[in-house]
A and B are shown apart, each in its own frame.
Chain A
């Protein structure tokens, strides 16, 4: 029971390690270059899962304010704008909106992973292009066959 408790409260880390090791194994051991790239994508997915699961909070929602919170702020904002000008508007924003940080998941990890996904797409695209070029040159995408052709000095 204790073991079950230890695993279930940190299930996200176990899952990410398993997925990451699957990707690492594919990158190291497979001969097919496309399979290596698939392994790289699985590895990246594991890291994305790791980061996003760090930002999760119990009972929190996505990091976007509720409609009524925004609506209330805009109503106050309009009043403040006419009476106090710009600085009054800023103060009224800060005074009237009560945002509890525990209600929203951590937005920072989402942003970091958004950029990681973009880099992942770019590297995968370039990797596929290089694989296709290798196939054009050597007629194969198996690593050992390409190495043999290079060694034979053709």
Chain B
């Protein structure tokens, strides 16, 4: 079995490697992917059209906004699927008294470090989301960092303590709210008489120029993405770590 796998892998690798000489050189600015007018147009036209210096965010949230919206839905669906697969609502759920659960000894160093680190992590996450169209960052990245702060809290203390701040119902509401914010921007554009997710029309609501309206709308949809990603990251962790009981974590 292993020999067969090795032969198959070697054959595939040989096929791929035999095509390497046809690829453009590393770092070649005139390779087909780099000299094609689509990617060049993104570089030169993004700022005049959207007033966003970070081209990646602009392409993600505006030019390919439809794609990103359903990307958020993919994350949401994955979170729901994991809950559907793992989550157990047994009759025992409410019978288990709290003192029977394994209580971690509160460790001074871990507790203090977390108390110092978690606010900074969350502040940095908010910065990454809010400044995502001017510096590296955006909704996905900031959402993951924010979700990581909750995971750190759950690791340092236990899942029960974290559940007091972010109970499961609130997590799922947050995840849904994110998609509603994103789709809401799209439908607002429709209501004002433009295309779905064509943010320029939103200048009527925001009171800025159409170009700046695109920039502000991008921030709005990034916040929606960040909501969903934060919620689903923590949901995935808490389901996987507690084997679906949501009682005690790792």
Contact B59 A133 (CB under 8 A): no
How many residues from B make CB contacts under 8 Å with A? 65
A56 to chain B, nearest CB (A): 5
Q: Among B42-50, B89-97, B216-224, which stretch is in contact with chain A? A: B42-50
Q: Is B116 an interface residue (CB 8 A)?
A: no
Q: Is A146 an interface residue (CB 8 A)?
A: no
A99/B43 contact (C-beta < 8 A), A28-B5, A58-B29, A64-B53 known = yes
Name the contact of A118 in the complex, choosing from B16, B54, B71 (C-beta under 8 A): B71
Q: Among B121-129, B163-171, B236-244, which stretch is in contact with chain A? A: B236-244
Residues of A within 8 A of B10 (CB): 21
Q: How far is the CA of A29 from the CA of B6 in the complex (A)?
A: 8
A54/B42 contact (C-beta < 8 A), A13-B23, A90-B211, A132-B243 known = no
A107/B34 contact (C-beta < 8 A), A64-B53, A128-B240 known = no
Q: Among B73-81, B106-114, B177-185, B190-198, which stretch is in contact with chain A? A: B73-81
Segment 53-95 of B: residues with Cβ below 8 Å from A: 53-56, 59-60, 64, 67-68, 71, 74-75, 77-79, 81-82, 85-86
Q: Is B99 an interface residue (CB 8 A)?
A: no
Q: How far is the CA of A132 from the CA of B134 in the complex (A)?
A: 41
Contact B53 A54 (CB under 8 A): no
Contact B2 A29 (CB under 8 A): yes
Q: Which of A28, A57, A102, A107 has the most CB of B within 10 A?
A: A107
Contact A58 B81 (CB under 8 A): no
Q: Is A86 an interface residue (CB 8 A)?
A: yes
A104/B5 contact (C-beta < 8 A), A12-B26, A93-B48, A115-B68 known = no
User: How many of chain A's residues touch chain B, expressed as a range?
Assistant: 35 or more
Residues on B lying within 8 angstroms of A by beta carbon are 1-2, 5-6, 8-10, 12-13, 16-17, 20-21, 23-29, 31, 33-34, 38-40, 42-44, 46-48, 51, 53-56, 59-60, 64, 67-68, 71, 74-75, 77-79, 81-82, 85-86, 134-136, 138, 140, 209-211, 236, 239-240, 243-244
Mind listing 7 A-B residue pairs with CB under 8 Å?
Answer: A13-B23, A56-B26, A64-B136, A99-B43, A106-B43, A114-B140, A115-B71
